[in-house]
Structures are given as C-alpha cells and as structure tokens.
Amino acid sequence: MTQDQQHLQRAIALAHTNVAQGGRPFGAVLTRHGEVLVEAVNEIHLTQDPTAHAELLAIRAASRQLGARLEGCVIYASGQPCPMCLSAMYLCGVERVVFAASNAMAEPFGLSTAAIGQQVGLPPSEQRLPIQHLPDAAMTALYRQWKAQHDPQ
C-alpha cells in the first residue's frame, strides 16, 4: 500500500467514525513531507458552523502550528473537497489534494457540492446569489496603506 493510500484510508476511517457518532461522512488528514500533522472530521453536527468541514478544520489546526502558508502539505480527504475548502487550499498553498469519493459518487446521497462549484465559477452577475458591487474609493487608500506596511523596505 502506498503512502497516499494509507493516508487516504485513515481519512476514510475518520469519516466512518464520525458517521457512527452522528456526523457527516467526511474526514481529512493533513501531512507535511509525509508526516501526519493533523486529523480532522466534519463538525457541523457539533458546532452548527456550516464551515466546519474536515479539510478547513485541518487547515486551521495546521496553520496554528506552521503559520498561514502550508507549502509541502498534502490533504487527504474522504470526499471531494467543496469549493470553499478547495479555495482555502489554494490560499494557504497546499501542495496536493487526494480524495476518495467524487461529487458524482456523493450526488445520490445529497452530499455533492458540484452545483456550488458551478455557481461560483460564473461571473457574479450570473450567480443565483445576488451579489452587488458598490465601489468605494476609500478602499484604494486602505489597500495602499496595507501594502506600504507589508512591503519590504
């Protein structure tokens, strides 16, 4: 069994345990250079936080250990990461993602996030969620201030 398969099997085992405890079938293992740093499960049923996905909880825990950048890290997930989790992976620099169940597999069980992925891929004016852009010039000054504080001198 490869290392990828071992870590993925652990994510699936976490998902199985979570279902047995009343949760959703989602588990994640986050590794760095092959070493397990964090294991997490979906905690929506415990927290009522709709963002408490296994992958996001793993990213949050790993970031507390390593900082906001997670280069060299791999996430193993029992299910295909949703657009929110995938976006977080891009933002923190996760190197790779490995998952077991695809959205197509999850669809008959009401667990697919493919429709959300389709929506966020559309221009804002075409999405079902009304999104309104109200430009404010003060934001340009705020962005300049932030950049000046964070640019190397």
Q: 96 has which bridge partners? A: 74
Is the pLDDT reported for residue 153 higher than 90? no
- Spatial distance between the Cα atoms of 147 and 3, rounded to a whole number of angstroms: 41
Question: 43 catalytic, yes or no?
Answer: no
Mean pLDDT, the chain, whole residue set: 96
Among 75, 76, 50, 51, which residue's Cα sits nearest to residue 63? Answer: 75
- Spatial distance between the Cα atoms of 26 and 110, rounded to a whole number of angstroms: 13
pLDDT in the model for residue 121: 93
pLDDT in tens, 30-89: 999 999 999 999 999 999 999 999 999 999 999 999 999 999 999 999 999 999 999 999
Q: Which of 35, 39, 43, 55 is catalytic?
A: 55
pLDDT in the model for residue 21: 97
pLDDT in the model for residue 116: 96
> What SS3 state is found at 41?
strand
Arithmetic mean of pLDDT, 94-103? 98
End-to-end CA distance of the chain: 50
Beta strands in 10-139 (DSSP E): 27-32, 35-41, 73-79, 96-101
The answer to whether the beta carbons of residues 129 and 119 sit under 8 Å apart is: yes
Is the pLDDT reported for residue 6 higher than 90? yes
pLDDT confidence bin for 152, thresholds 50/70/90? confident
Among 77, 89, 84, which residue's Cα sits nearest to residue 116? Answer: 84
Residue 124: DSSP 8-state: G
Residues in the chain: 153
Q: Which of 46-60, 72-86, 97-111, 138-152 has the lowest mean pLDDT?
A: 138-152
Domain 3-149 architecture: 3-Layer(aba) Sandwich (3.40)
pLDDT in the model for residue 103: 97
